Chains A and B, each alone.
Chain A
Amino acid sequence: MSDLDKINSIFNAKIDSVKTKEDLQNIKTEFFGKNGEITKQFKTLGSLDPENRKEFASNLNKIKDDFTHQLEQKNIEIETNEINEKLKNEKVDVTLPIRPSRQGKIHPVSQVIDEISSIFSEIGFSVAEGPDVESEYNNFTALNTPEEHPARDMHDTFYLEENKKLLLRTHTSPVQIRTMISGKPPFKIIVPGRTYRCDSDQTHAPMFHQLEGLHIDKGITMGHLKGCLDYFIKEFFEVKNVKMRFRPSHFPFTEPSAEVDIGYKIEKGKIVIGEGDKWLEVLGCGMVHPNVLKNVKINTKTYQGFAFGIGIDRLAMLKYGINDLRAFFEADYRWLSHFGFDPLDVPTNYRGLSK
């Protein structure tokens, strides 16, 4: 057996018993240290004759490469074992709870206003606003509501003074007046906002939200009004078809006036909008009364158009299955958690209005 064979068999015998980094270091020193077996063999190279030297050197390098490789492998094995051993003691109970955090939500009214704005944005409406305290003129007179109209009663309207000059707006329609008086036609606006009526029971709240729509231009007819509302209802309820009925009605500020019902049915205790035999009143609308246009100095020969008013809270109730109107305003944390929306659910056209 040559020296190299001997060294090889010794190494192979020892490497198997290496278990720790320390063992590994020892065996490294034994073979590759200053006086290591392999080092020694390299030192003998110089004393060999060229013929033998070449062959010996080749064999020696082979052994050296083999040993180095084995040592590396051993090193990986030891390290892997060490990690595995360590991890055995590092087990946590992942079912333990996370840190408590507070979950914020968007109120259903705000969410629905965003949805509505997104829908009307597509067909060119922009959002207008007006103050909550209004003059009796903007809220009633300019809107062709006669002096003795019951809506002006203290039973119906909140007033700031006994003389009834200032009030909390009973609808968003005074913003029609404000918009038209301060600008030039055409007008194409929606007005979401707070409105107030002296009414409080299970189904009425003294404050609620209304959406006003106004489109004044040349040649705007009731056909446009129908098209606009048909589009809105379909988009809002996210249905392809919707059964819709225009019923003649009466509002002082529109002529002709209509109320709009949509078809619905109850399926497994849930309301399905757009089909079925039952009718649900959702909004009032009509062609803006010529007296209203005259009051804001618009030429009724050239311009005409439509207006509509929708209860936002009611739309939210229908779409999201909320039963109690009053709960909207009672700020019950549990209710808000249940019906509120994640702040990242921003209604958009490309991603869909609702999850």
Chain B
Amino acid sequence: MIITIPWLKEHLKTSAKENEIIDRLINIGLEVEGVKENSGDLGKFKIAKVLKTEKHPNADKLKVCDVTIGGKEILKVVCGAPNAREGLITIYAPPGAVIPKTNFELKVAKIRGVESRGMLCSESELNLSNESDGIIELKNKEKEIGKSYFKSSSQKVIDIAITPNRADCLGVRGIARDLSSTGVGKLIQIKRKKFKQNIKHQIKTSITKEKNQGCDIFGSCYIKNITNKESPEWLKNKLIALGLKPISAVVDITNYVMFDLNRPLHAYDADKINKEIIVRNAKEGETFEALDNKKYKLKKDMCVISDKSGILGLGGIIGGTTTSTELDTRNILLEAAYFSPSSIRKTARALNINTDAKFRFERGVDPDSIKEGLELATELILKICGGEASKFQITGKTDKKNKVINFQIEKFEKLIGISITANETNKILSSLGFKCKKSSKAIKVEVPSWRPDISLDEDLIEELIRIKGFNNIKLIEPIKNRTQETLNFKQKLFHLSQRSLASKGYMEIVTWSFTDSKIDKQFSKSEKEISIFNPISTDLDVLRRSIFSNLAIYLKKNQDRGYEDLSLFEIGPTFFGKNPGEQQIIVGGLKSGKINRKSWLDKERDVDIFDIKGDVMRTLIELGIEEKNLFVSDNTKYSYHPGRSGSITLKSEKGPHLAYFGEIHPAIIKNLDFKEKNIFGFEIFLKNIPEPNKKFRLSKKSFQASDYQKSERDFAFVIDKIFKIGSLEKIIREVDENLIQNVSTFDVYEGENIPKDKKSVAINVTLQAIDKTLSEKDLDEISKKIIDTVGKKTGATIRS
């Protein structure tokens, strides 16, 4: 909502300066979004005439226009508008002008090789309307060529963001009323001049009784013998200041009343109405041409204003071309009606129309403002255009009663924390137009018809504190006291895993929860795709089923920027169904490229599966799982290389699934066209990490260290090639858990001197007893036990 101070002062008697008014507006919840000086910049926009147009040599849709702004100079301007033609009078913006719509400063520029000095403007570019199909066409302005289009009244306009509950403040008077309650001024009581209403209302009006009728009240006035003309300067200036284009006195007056009183009106050329006005629901498929020059196909139940021939307008949204007023219109029907917000919203949304009237009706226009609106508009029309007016004809539900709230005053203190007196309550509410009647216990508050948003005590409390001032609320310091844990176990894991991976060289990324279905498919074959019905773009059309989808997209983008040796991770939701809760938190990572690339110290090598396995295992250990409980197997899934990937489960193969790790499937690497193709990944399933039932410190074994010497023995087993070394190590470890402190494989060999289906595995075993130094005999004994056990369980022999 845009207002000017002079207009405001027509409703508010105040000596306050602009700054004070702005402060008050902000303090009562009418947020000032900006203050603009209209004249300065807009003075540059001149009325101009197109002398000649030629086709642009390098572009079919562009024209090169010779434009004059009165002087001798002929300006060459490139223009794409289809209506740019010889003789057209329009608005010219010179280099240096700032286009209101885009805030873009014009410069002399070459457009497809032809220099353009400035531009010719559309209404949309000047914020005059949404019309952007062509440049402005001005009629009867031949004499004004060279003059500024916007009259330099140098008035400041204040742009106020009105919250959707405050429909009443979509008119200057409503804003003045709110301001008056702060004490900054007094609301001026306006006395309307009486005018004669002698002639007969020529047109019958009716509201059809039917289900979902969107129109409650239809008021009108018939005015005959007017002389429609250009509006007087004062009126034009008012509208231009708001960014509206003056059209003709009749239209300008209806707009003026809308902005002044938040009372939308519509004027019909009465001679074009076929007999009578019928407000009814549209029939499915009915069409009509609106004032925006578009044809609309209507659905049933849309509220329309019609006559005997057809539809004249969409009630409360937009009028039609068949009955529109022109400069030569003689007799008019002035409409002031009340349409229900939900009906307006439904229709406007279905047809995708946005108008100032629709904006107001969908928020709730004062149903009692019909008479006042007709009065003000009729008075102005008679004054400016002459003519004679009929009595007002008002049909529909005119007997609506105002709401009454029994307000318990102590509720204010209970909710806000400071008290308010009955007197102050009365004063504030009265100034806002509420009628208060004190009784012993409560105040009976009658809500004015322009405040559909008020129905509860809390609504009144908001009104009171809003005017009293939020800055008067005493701040209560919070108490530093914690009675419940801040994070639960899963949340702690979430935070810890982030830091754990970042400490292993992984860069944390945060990406959308949605992704490109084409990429997502690569990583999620079996699960059902979860598509978004109205995606923001076609490459963000599904919820991600795999954490890899976006990781892969962004790994590739970084590779394309020249970064090949990357470790990225994301922790966040992936989805396995479209219902709430069908999601789980996954920690996913990708690692690509080489280790020691171009190092003078060490030989460079490719990242390999044991890098990624190490990262996952160490992360799981840091998340609280003992290393011995990490069971590694070669169970894998399709997004990984089948031979170079595996799983980690808790304790055994059947235990809870903790992670996948391995090389990304070469087919995916190929499909996504990665530059650096050596890519490994992992997925950790946080939900499967069990919460220990005791604190770690309580479940930890007591400390024991042997003071006796440790010994080491190396073994070389020849074993079946397919036998898993992890199992072999486990078998050895379990031979004597007291003596065997560590088992580690340091060589694996296949080839010469070893049978084809076998491999040789060299394993180092560390032995130490708690109570003595192991003798040669002890060591021989345990070595023999190891060799025997391994032989028995695996068929392996000691390599001689």
Where the two chains meet, the residues of A that have a C-beta atom closer than 8 Å to any C-beta of B are 96-107, 109-110, 114, 117, 120-127, 129, 131-135, 138, 147-150, 153-154, 158-162, 166, 168, 188, 194, 196, 198-200, 206-207, 219, 221-224, 226-228, 230-231, 245-250, 255-259, 287, 289-290, 304, 328-334, 336-337, 340, 342-344, 346
Is the CB of B483 closer than 8 A to any CB of chain A?
A: yes
Q: Knowing A133-B582, A196-B513, A247-B29, say if A121 contacts B482 (CB, 8 Å).
A: yes
Q: Which residues of chain B are near A328, meaning CB under 8 Å? A: 510
Is the CB of B6 closer than 8 A to any CB of chain A?
A: no
Q: Mark B538-563, 1 if CB is under 8 A from A, else 0.
A: 00100100000010001001100101
Judging by beta carbons under 8 Å apart, are B166 and A250 in contact? Answer: yes
Q: Mark B389-421, 1 if CB is under 8 A from A, else 0.
A: 000000000000000000000000011111000
Q: Which residues of chain B are near A224, meaning CB under 8 Å? A: 417, 476, 478
A120 nearest CB neighbor, chain B only: B486
Bound together, the chains give a CA A290 to CA B457 distance in angstroms of 10
Judging by beta carbons under 8 Å apart, are A126 and B476 in contact? Answer: no
- Distance in Å: Cβ of B341 to nearest Cβ of chain A: 7
- Distance in Å: Cβ of B453 to nearest Cβ of chain A: 8
A306 nearest CB neighbor, chain B only: B415
Judging by beta carbons under 8 Å apart, are A223 and B558 in contact? Answer: no
Is the CB of B461 closer than 8 A to any CB of chain A?
A: yes
Q: Knowing A150-B164, A159-B534, A328-B510, say if A226 contacts B505 (CB, 8 Å).
A: no
Give which listed residue, B474, B537, B557, B599, contacts A223 with CB less than 8 A: B474
A117 nearest CB neighbor, chain B only: B486
Judging by beta carbons under 8 Å apart, are B536 and A198 in contact? Answer: yes
Bound together, the chains give a CA A199 to CA B535 distance in angstroms of 10
Judging by beta carbons under 8 Å apart, are A133 and B575 in contact? Answer: yes
A133 nearest CB neighbor, chain B only: B580
Q: Which residues of chain A are near B461, meaning CB under 8 Å? A: 255-256
- Distance in Å: Cβ of B682 to nearest Cβ of chain A: 14
Is the CB of B234 closer than 8 A to any CB of chain A?
A: no
B601 nearest CB neighbor, chain A only: A99
Judging by beta carbons under 8 Å apart, are A107 and B503 in contact? Answer: no
Q: Knowing A102-B567, A223-B473, A248-B462, say if A331 contacts B513 (CB, 8 Å).
A: no
Judging by beta carbons under 8 Å apart, are B600 and A336 in contact? Answer: no
Bound together, the chains give a CA A287 to CA B504 distance in angstroms of 45
Bound together, the chains give a CA A250 to CA B458 distance in angstroms of 13
A163 nearest CB neighbor, chain B only: B533
Is the CB of B573 closer than 8 A to any CB of chain A?
A: yes
Judging by beta carbons under 8 Å apart, are B502 and A194 in contact? Answer: no
- Distance in Å: Cβ of B568 to nearest Cβ of chain A: 7
Bound together, the chains give a CA A148 to CA B214 distance in angstroms of 14
Judging by beta carbons under 8 Å apart, are B580 and A198 in contact? Answer: no
Q: Which residues of chain A are near B508, meaning CB under 8 Å? A: 104-107, 110, 336, 340
Judging by beta carbons under 8 Å apart, are B471 and A96 in contact? Answer: no
Q: Is the interface of B mostly helix, strand, loop or mixed?
A: loop
B582 nearest CB neighbor, chain A only: A133
A260 nearest CB neighbor, chain B only: B470
A98 nearest CB neighbor, chain B only: B601
Give which listed residue, A97, A223, A247, A346, contacts B476 with CB less than 8 A: A223
Judging by beta carbons under 8 Å apart, are B540 and A161 in contact? Answer: no
Contacts A100-B598, A331-B568 known; list 17 others, CB within 8 Å.
Answer: A97-B599, A100-B595, A103-B505, A106-B498, A131-B573, A133-B543, A133-B575, A166-B578, A194-B513, A206-B536, A226-B475, A248-B465, A250-B163, A255-B456, A290-B456, A332-B558, A340-B507
A188 nearest CB neighbor, chain B only: B484
Q: Mark B505-519, 1 if CB is under 8 A from A, else 0.
A: 111111111100000
Give which listed residue, A199, A290, A333, contacts B566 with CB less than 8 A: A333
Judging by beta carbons under 8 Å apart, are A222 and B465 in contact? Answer: yes
Q: Knowing A121-B486, A132-B583, say if A154 contacts B534 (CB, 8 Å).
A: yes
A107 nearest CB neighbor, chain B only: B508
Bound together, the chains give a CA A150 to CA B474 distance in angstroms of 35
- Distance in Å: Cβ of A289 to nearest Cβ of chain B: 7
- Distance in Å: Cβ of A64 to nearest Cβ of chain B: 40
Give which listed residue, A102, A122, A161, A336, contacts B565 with CB less than 8 A: A102
Q: Knowing A127-B486, A133-B578, A344-B503, say if A248 contacts B597 (CB, 8 Å).
A: no
Judging by beta carbons under 8 Å apart, are B535 and A158 in contact? Answer: yes
Is the CB of B785 closer than 8 A to any CB of chain A?
A: no
Q: Mark B5-45, 1 if CB is under 8 A from A, else 0.
A: 00000000000000000000011110100000000000000
Bound together, the chains give a CA A162 to CA B475 distance in angstroms of 46
Judging by beta carbons under 8 Å apart, are B470 and A104 in contact? Answer: no
Is the CB of B706 closer than 8 A to any CB of chain A?
A: no
Q: Which residues of chain B are near A123, meaning CB under 8 Å? A: 478-482
Q: Which residues of chain A are near B477, meaning CB under 8 Å? A: 227, 231
Judging by beta carbons under 8 Å apart, are A255 and B459 in contact? Answer: yes
Q: Mark B255-269, 1 if CB is under 8 A from A, else 0.
A: 000000000000000
Judging by beta carbons under 8 Å apart, are B533 and A160 in contact? Answer: yes
Bound together, the chains give a CA A304 to CA B417 distance in angstroms of 12
Bound together, the chains give a CA A127 to CA B482 distance in angstroms of 12
Q: Which residues of chain A are near B580, meaning CB under 8 Å? A: 131, 133-135, 138, 166
Bound together, the chains give a CA A228 to CA B475 distance in angstroms of 9
Bound together, the chains give a CA A89 to CA B240 distance in angstroms of 88
What number of B residues sit within 8 Å (CB to CB) of A? 101
Q: Which residues of chain B are near A246, meaning CB under 8 Å? A: 470-471, 473
Q: Mark B325-352, 1 if CB is under 8 A from A, else 0.
A: 0000000000000000110011001000
- Distance in Å: Cβ of B447 to nearest Cβ of chain A: 15
B342 nearest CB neighbor, chain A only: A148
Judging by beta carbons under 8 Å apart, are B475 and A223 in contact? Answer: yes
Q: Which residues of chain B are near A135, meaning CB under 8 Å? A: 580
Q: Mark B467-501, 1 if CB is under 8 A from A, else 0.
A: 00011011111111111111110010001001111
Q: List 14 A-B contacts (CB under 8 A).
A: A99-B599, A123-B480, A123-B481, A132-B583, A133-B583, A134-B580, A148-B362, A207-B514, A222-B415, A226-B476, A245-B470, A248-B29, A250-B164, A331-B568
List of 4 A-B pairs having minimum Cβ-Cβ separation, nearest first: A248-B29, A102-B505, A223-B417, A221-B417
Q: Which residues of chain B are near A336, meaning CB under 8 Å? A: 507-509
Is the CB of B602 closer than 8 A to any CB of chain A?
A: yes
Q: Which residues of chain A are near B473, meaning CB under 8 Å? A: 222-223, 226, 246
Give which listed residue, A97, A120, A227, A343, contacts B499 with CB less than 8 A: A343
Q: Knowing A230-B475, A256-B462, say if A104 contacts B501 (CB, 8 Å).
A: yes
Q: Name the residue among A135, A147, A199, A224 with the largest chain B CB count within 10 angstroms.
A: A224
Q: Which residues of chain A are near B488, meaning CB under 8 Å? A: 126-127
Q: Which residues of chain A are near B596, meaning CB under 8 Å? A: 99-100
Q: Which residues of chain A are near B456, meaning CB under 8 Å? A: 255, 290
Judging by beta carbons under 8 Å apart, are B578 and A159 in contact? Answer: no
Is the CB of B81 closer than 8 A to any CB of chain A?
A: no
B600 nearest CB neighbor, chain A only: A96
- Distance in Å: Cβ of A228 to nearest Cβ of chain B: 5
Q: Name the residue among A132, A194, A199 with the largest chain B CB count within 10 angstroms.
A: A132
Q: Which residues of chain A are near B474, meaning CB under 8 Å? A: 223, 226
Bound together, the chains give a CA A289 to CA B27 distance in angstroms of 21
Bound together, the chains give a CA A147 to CA B596 distance in angstroms of 60
- Distance in Å: Cβ of B680 to nearest Cβ of chain A: 13
Judging by beta carbons under 8 Å apart, are A222 and B416 in contact? Answer: yes
- Distance in Å: Cβ of B251 to nearest Cβ of chain A: 28
Q: Knowing A125-B486, A331-B557, say if A194 contacts B573 (CB, 8 Å).
A: yes
Bound together, the chains give a CA A96 to CA B601 distance in angstroms of 9
- Distance in Å: Cβ of B104 to nearest Cβ of chain A: 14
Q: Knowing A104-B504, A133-B575, A249-B163, say if A124 contacts B481 (CB, 8 Å).
A: yes
Q: Which residues of chain B are near A102, meaning CB under 8 Å? A: 505-507, 565-567
Judging by beta carbons under 8 Å apart, are A158 and B462 in contact? Answer: no
Judging by beta carbons under 8 Å apart, are A258 and B470 in contact? Answer: yes
Q: Which residues of chain B are near A158, meaning CB under 8 Å? A: 514, 532-536
Give which listed residue, B482, B567, B581, contacts A122 with CB less than 8 A: B482
Bound together, the chains give a CA A222 to CA B484 distance in angstroms of 23
Judging by beta carbons under 8 Å apart, are B600 and A97 in contact? Answer: yes
- Distance in Å: Cβ of B500 to nearest Cβ of chain A: 8
Bound together, the chains give a CA A147 to CA B346 distance in angstroms of 11
- Distance in Å: Cβ of A339 to nearest Cβ of chain B: 11
